[in-house]
Amino acid sequence: MKLMKILEILKNEEATVEEIANRTGMNIPQVKRLLLRLLSQGKIESLERNGKLVWKAKEKDEAEEKFKYI
């Protein structure tokens, strides 16, 4: 459930760990753990914007989707 909350936020916009924590009511260490889990599952990615690390949902690659069951 908590993973889905974070994923829903990141599908709509980029967000920092602090922003995600504020919006979900979770603490920062918990958010970081969940972000790393989503990252390892290939569902999100991180990038640097204006000197801050932000997270966003990973966009699906058509080729990746086409061949994922091969």
Contact indicator for 15, 6 with CB cutoff of 8 Å: no
Q: Tell which CATH classification among 1.10.10.10, 3.40.630.30, 3.30.428.10, 3.30.390.30 matches the domain 2-67.
A: 1.10.10.10
Domain boundaries, the chain: 2-67
pLDDT tens digit at each of 70 positions of the chain: 999 999 999 999 999 999 999 999 999 999 999 999 999 999 999 999 999 999 999 987 666 666 666 5
Looking at the DSSP bridge assignments, the partners of residue 18 are none
Question: What pLDDT was estimated at residue 23?
Answer: 98
Rounded CA gap, 70 and 56, in Å?
Answer: 27
